[in-house]
Amino acid sequence: MSDLQSYRDLFDLSGRNALVIGAGSGIGKAGAEALAAFGAGVLCADIDAEAAAVTAAGITAGGGAASNAAVDIGDPASVESVVAEPDIVVSTPAINVRKKMLSLSDEEFRRVVDLNLRGTFNVMTTAGRGMAERGRGSIIVISSIRSQVVEPGQGVYAATKAGVLQLVKTLAAELGPAGVRVNALAPGVVETPLTEQIKANPEWYDAYATKSALGRWSQPVEMAGPIVYLASDASSFATGSLLVVDGGWLAVDGRFTPPL
All structural domains of the chain with their residue ranges: 3-245
Could you tell me the sign of the dihedral formed by the alpha carbons of 107, 113, 116, 121, in that order? negative
157 classed as catalytic: yes
Structural contact between residues 116 and 160, judged by C-beta atoms closer than 8 angstroms: yes
Q: Which of 7, 157, 205, 229 is catalytic?
A: 157
pLDDT per residue of the chain (260 residues) written in tens, 0 to 9: 468 879 999 999 999 999 999 999 999 999 999 999 999 999 999 999 999 999 999 999 999 999 999 999 999 999 999 998 999 999 999 999 999 999 999 999 999 999 999 999 999 999 999 999 999 999 999 999 999 999 899 999 999 999 999 999 999 999 999 999 999 999 998 988 877 778 888 888 888 888 889 999 999 999 999 999 999 999 999 999 999 999 999 998 666 666 77
pTM of the model: 0.93
Q: Quick one: CATH architecture of 3-245? A: 3-Layer(aba) Sandwich (3.40)
Which contacts (CB < 8 Å, 24+ apart) does range 92-95 have? 92/20, 92/21, 92/22, 92/26, 92/27, 92/28, 92/31, 92/141, 92/142, 93/21, 93/22, 93/28, 93/47, 93/119, 93/120, 94/142, 94/144, 94/157, 94/160, 94/161, 94/194, 95/194
